[in-house]
């Protein structure tokens, strides 16, 4: 048996390596996209209806939900506002030294 953490370390590298950091970031974006899609469906909204509430095209909502396009933080905040969902961000500072 191997844990998920051990698997990630073995095949993606340790936390802090370029490949692992990219993987972790992409995973977070994918989870965010899935949450938006789930909330939209719970609110019985089509992609087009959500787009109208936010002021973007249906295609942009589709790209966001399928994690195939970029979106601004402003648009994300509008989307969550339209979905009546609270959003919180956590910022974790890393040690930083000038070389």
Please tell me the distance from the alpha carbon of residue 55 to that of residue 51, in angstroms, as a whole number: 6
Q: pLDDT tens digit string along 23-74?
A: 777 777 888 899 999 999 999 999 999 999 999 999 999 999 988 878 888 8
pLDDT for the residue 87: 81
Is 18 in a helix, a strand, or coil?
helix
CA neighbor of 85 nearest in space, from 21, 20, 14, 37? 37
| CATH architecture for the domain at 15-82 | Orthogonal Bundle (1.10)
Write out 56-99 in H/E/C secondary structure.
CCHHHHHHHHCCCCCCCHHHHHHHHHHCCCCCCCCCCCCCCCCC
Provide mean pLDDT across the span 6-31: 80
């Amino acid at each position: 048996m191997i844990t998920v953490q051990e698997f990630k370390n073995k095949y993606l590298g340790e936390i802090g390596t370029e490949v692992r950091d990219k993987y972790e970031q992409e995973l977070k974006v994918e989870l965010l996209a899935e949450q938006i899609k789930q909330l939209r469906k719970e609110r019985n909204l089509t992609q087009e209806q959500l787009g109208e509430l936010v002021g973007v095209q249906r295609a942009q909502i589709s790209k966001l939900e399928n994690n195939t396009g970029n979106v601004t933080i402003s648009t994300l905040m509008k989307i969550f506002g339209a979905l009546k969902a609270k959003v919180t961000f956590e910022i974790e500072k890393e040690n930083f030294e000038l070389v």
